[in-house]
């Protein structure tokens, strides 16, 4: 099967590429989504997974929890090995549960992990929209 390159045919005009196409065609950009939102696809997947995490996953297990885990079998540890992604997971879990009402120490730890306040706002705006959509579906 043959394909024709209509964009190069005489008498045709090529429109200017959109901003997304320019980012996708730029060899210096590895992930166009990361340029638009400040987060890579991996980071957005961490945020999506954090929706189901409970607040208890943010605490280190105590002696009783460790003993019960030994007796009845351990639960999988949701903490991530990468400290930067773990900081993102922590702030995402808090945002899924509390929205913008997160203690300043947690936001500071998020920024110290290498993220910016603009990324924090993007994250919480996205999560707030997800929370509103989820709550709207639950009421119907």
Spatial separation of the C-alpha atoms in residues 123 and 47, rounded to whole Å? 8
For the chain, the domains span 44-139
- Report the pLDDT value the prediction gives residue 78, as an integer from 0 to 100: 74
- Report the pLDDT value the prediction gives residue 36, as an integer from 0 to 100: 57
pTM metric for this prediction: 0.65
Spatial separation of the C-alpha atoms in residues 85 and 95, rounded to whole Å? 15
- Residue by residue, pLDDT tens for the chain (140 residues) are 454 444 545 554 444 444 444 444 445 555 555 555 688 999 999 999 998 888 888 877 778 877 777 778 766 667 788 899 999 999 999 999 998 898 889 999 999 999 999 999 999 999 998 888 877 765 55
């Amino acid at each position: 099967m043959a394909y024709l390159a209509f964009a190069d045919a005489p008498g045709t005009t090529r429109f200017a590429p959109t901003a997304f196409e320019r980012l996708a065609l730029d060899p210096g950009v590895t992930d166009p989504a990361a340029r638009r939102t400040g987060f890579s696809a991996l980071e957005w997947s961490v945020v999506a997974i954090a929706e189901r995490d409970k607040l208890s996953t943010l605490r280190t297990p105590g002696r009783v929890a460790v003993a019960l885990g030994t007796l009845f079998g351990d639960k999988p540890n949701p903490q991530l090995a990468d400290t930067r992604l773990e900081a993102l997971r922590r702030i995402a879990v808090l945002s899924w549960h509390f929205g913008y009402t997160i203690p300043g120490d947690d936001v500071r730890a998020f920024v110290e992990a290498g993220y910016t306040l603009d990324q924090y706002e993007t994250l919480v705006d996205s999560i707030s929209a997800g929370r509103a959509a989820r709550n709207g579906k639950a009421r119907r």
